[in-house]
Amino acid sequence: MCGLTHTKSVRRRSLDLRLDTLGDWRRTHYSSDLSPQLDGKESIVFGWIASIRHQGNITFIILADKDGFTQITVKRGEVSDELYEKVQRLTAHTSIGVKGVLRAISKAPKGVEILPKEIKILSFATQNPPTSLYGRRLPSIDKRLEIRAVDLRRPAAQALFKIRQEVLKALRAYLLDNGYHEVHTPKIISSATEGGAALFPMLYYDKEAFLTQSPQLYKEQLVMAFEKVFEIGPAFRAEQSRTLEHLSEFISVDIEEAYVDYRDLMDRLESMIKWVVNVVSKKCANEFKTIGYKLEPLQGFKRYTYDEVLNILAEHGCRLEWGEDLGSATLNALAKHNPSFYFIVDWPAQSKPFYIAPKDKNSKISESFDLMYGSLEVASGGTRVSSRKLLEKRLKEKGLNPKSFAYHLKIFDYGMPPHAGFGLGFERLLMALTGQSNIREVTYFPRDQRHLTP
Ligand code: AMO
């Protein structure tokens, strides 16, 4: 049946259907609470219809809730004629409540089905989504984003976002357990930290302001009082390039710590990711099965200096001038050399932001690192400049006006300790851990040049 005809007939069916209200019905079980041991118990469940199948005088409804699926079995003759009629008009995605009796049955999900006594139709789905819940061939991400909230009902999407939630929980738990203090810094700022080109300007009362590109300067300031801080929050970049790895708004996992340098922070980042992989691969075994991806335990992360990378690239036939950034062709060559996690360390100072410390006073090399996963940059960080004089010099070298950073520079006069930190792109980490090649797949409502809605 073509989509349009289907939608028309569904509309017709819905016209004379009276919607019920929630009233005093309250859920007794989620699908995850059900088991054959509950045989004979009364139950009220809610959810949306994942599928409905009519077989002779029996209708099977698979009801989805946040945790999984429940089978509702409606037999003509065992339910009232009125209820049987009502069920015949139900459509996929319709939201219902079911009151009935649980019956153990080995073939149903969780080994139990519900024999309904009453069904409430709470919201009738008049539209047939272009995405099949179980289909292998998916419409393009752009098409699916048009009704993202519905697209997220697909079991594979549910699994991906359950993994997202568990990765987030594991990151936070790891950092709290290791003595980091969670902070929140302003998202409306007065001056750029990560290069002027990628800023979103906005009007802040009568002044020009910007959406923050990263919590960089604030997290540095906060180590004065808290020593070890982290923040998990949004960062905004007016990215000019449309790629599979860039969003205009992403979640950044930021860490900053006093009395350490970039080597300690690389150890920290490596240990954090290994711990997260360990936790999540156990907790989300079913979800990884659903998305068809195997998360392998990680080996030690190799550390290549920028100079070593140039040599590796030369072996692969890519010649770069010292100081040049690594473009996508060179990153693809690197991914062939190492498809897993590895660090690139000791970048040319000229390619890193003003707050990254040079290796020594006049060095062209900086104490910096990028964490890569194949060709994907997952995190970057380094030892920070902790002297006000040097920071002013670095600002000028980068063509920035120290006056715009006066609020930041003055803090350095009060004994700023040596410190280091990193920022990790949360969605990029998820891409690496779930084998997704498009960052939009692991983002609820992606923002990019073409998507300001939904
Ligand atoms: P950087 O600009 O390298 O460093 O950003 C840190 C990490 O954030 C992720 N990322 C992005 N993810 C999705 N879409 C984007 N447009 C995007 N831009 C960046 C990447 C990247 O490695 N303040 C420093 C970090 C630090 O030194 O602490 C910073 O922001 O995974």
CA of 347 to the centre of ligand 1 (A): 16
Q: Which atom of ligand 1 approaches the CA of 246 most closely?
A: 14
Q: Where are the beta strands (DSSP E) in 82-170?
A: 95-104, 112-123
Cβ–ligand 1 contact at 343 (below 6 Å): no
Cβ–ligand 1 contact at 446 (below 6 Å): no
Q: Which atom of ligand 1 approaches the CA of 237 most closely?
A: 16
Check: CB of residue 315 under 8 Å from CB of residue 340.
no
Strands 341-345 and 302-305: parallel
Q: Which atom of ligand 1 approaches the CA of 371 most closely?
A: 22
- Please give the structure tokens belonging to residue 278: 């360990």
Nearest CA to ligand 1 atom 29: 423
Residue 192: predicted pLDDT: 77
Helices (H), 261-338: 262-283, 285-291, 306-315, 328-337
Cα 97 versus chain centre, distance: 31
Cβ–ligand 1 contact at 419 (below 6 Å): no
Domains of the chain and any CATH numbers? 7-123 (2.40.50.140), 149-442 (3.30.930.10)
Cβ–ligand 1 contact at 426 (below 6 Å): no
Residue 4: predicted pLDDT: 37
Cβ–ligand 1 contact at 144 (below 6 Å): no
The whole-angstrom separation of Cα 442 and Cα 108 is 30
Cβ–ligand 1 contact at 247 (below 6 Å): yes
Nearest CA to ligand 1 atom 11: 425
Cβ–ligand 1 contact at 246 (below 6 Å): yes
pLDDT in tens, the chain (454 residues): 333 345 555 555 555 678 999 999 999 999 999 999 999 999 999 999 999 999 999 999 999 999 999 999 999 999 999 999 999 999 999 999 999 999 999 988 889 999 999 999 999 999 988 767 666 788 999 999 999 999 999 999 999 999 999 999 999 999 999 999 999 999 999 987 776 568 999 999 999 999 999 999 999 999 999 999 999 999 999 988 889 999 999 999 999 999 999 999 999 999 999 999 999 999 999 999 999 999 999 999 999 999 999 999 999 888 999 999 998 889 999 999 999 999 999 999 999 999 999 998 768 999 999 999 999 999 999 999 999 999 999 999 999 999 989 999 999 999 999 999 999 999 999 999 999 999 999 999 999 999 999 9
Q: Which atom of ligand 1 approaches the CA of 219 most closely?
A: 28
The whole-angstrom separation of Cα 19 and Cα 389 is 70
Residue 212: predicted pLDDT: 96
Cβ–ligand 1 contact at 428 (below 6 Å): yes
Q: Which long-range contacts (CB under 8 A, 24 or more apart) does 292-298 make?
A: 293/434, 293/435, 295/433, 295/434, 298/273, 298/274, 298/340, 298/341
Nearest CA to ligand 1 atom 21: 379
CA of 300 to the centre of ligand 1 (A): 23
Helix (H) or strand (E) holding 429: helix 426-434
Strands 200-204 and 188-189: unpaired
Residue 3: predicted pLDDT: 37
Under DSSP, is residue 235 helix (H, G, I), strand (E, B) or coil?
Answer: strand
Nearest CA to ligand 1 atom 15: 246
Cβ–ligand 1 contact at 355 (below 6 Å): no
Nearest to 266 by CA among 388, 380, 436, 363: 380
The whole-angstrom separation of Cα 443 and Cα 454 is 12
Cβ–ligand 1 contact at 448 (below 6 Å): no
Under DSSP, is residue 189 helix (H, G, I), strand (E, B) or coil?
Answer: strand
Cβ–ligand 1 contact at 380 (below 6 Å): yes
Nearest to 384 by CA among 266, 228, 257: 257
Cβ–ligand 1 contact at 432 (below 6 Å): no
Cβ–ligand 1 contact at 249 (below 6 Å): no
The whole-angstrom separation of Cα 187 and Cα 408 is 16
Nearest CA to ligand 1 atom 9: 425
Cβ–ligand 1 contact at 215 (below 6 Å): no
The residues, ordered by sequence, that sit 6+ positions from 396 with a Cβ below 8 Å of its Cβ are: 402
The whole-angstrom separation of Cα 75 and Cα 88 is 11
Q: Nearest 5°: phi and psi at 133?
A: -60, -35
CA of 11 to the centre of ligand 1 (A): 47
The whole-angstrom separation of Cα 63 and Cα 70 is 5
Nearest CA to ligand 1 atom 25: 423
Nearest CA to ligand 1 atom 30: 214
Angle at 107 between CA 106 and CA 112, to 5 degrees: 60
Which of 377, 383, 436 best tests ligand 1's pocket when mutated (most atoms within 8 Å of CB)? Answer: 377
CA of 3 to the centre of ligand 1 (A): 42
The whole-angstrom separation of Cα 235 and Cα 317 is 36
| Bridge partner residues of 114 (DSSP) | 72, 102
The amino acid sitting at 361 is K
Helices (H), 89-239: 141-145, 148-151, 155-177, 216-226
Cβ–ligand 1 contact at 383 (below 6 Å): no
The whole-angstrom separation of Cα 195 and Cα 342 is 25
The whole-angstrom separation of Cα 365 and Cα 370 is 14
Nearest CA to ligand 1 atom 22: 379
Which of 252, 352, 398 best tests ligand 1's pocket when mutated (most atoms within 8 Å of CB)? Answer: 252
Cβ–ligand 1 contact at 185 (below 6 Å): no
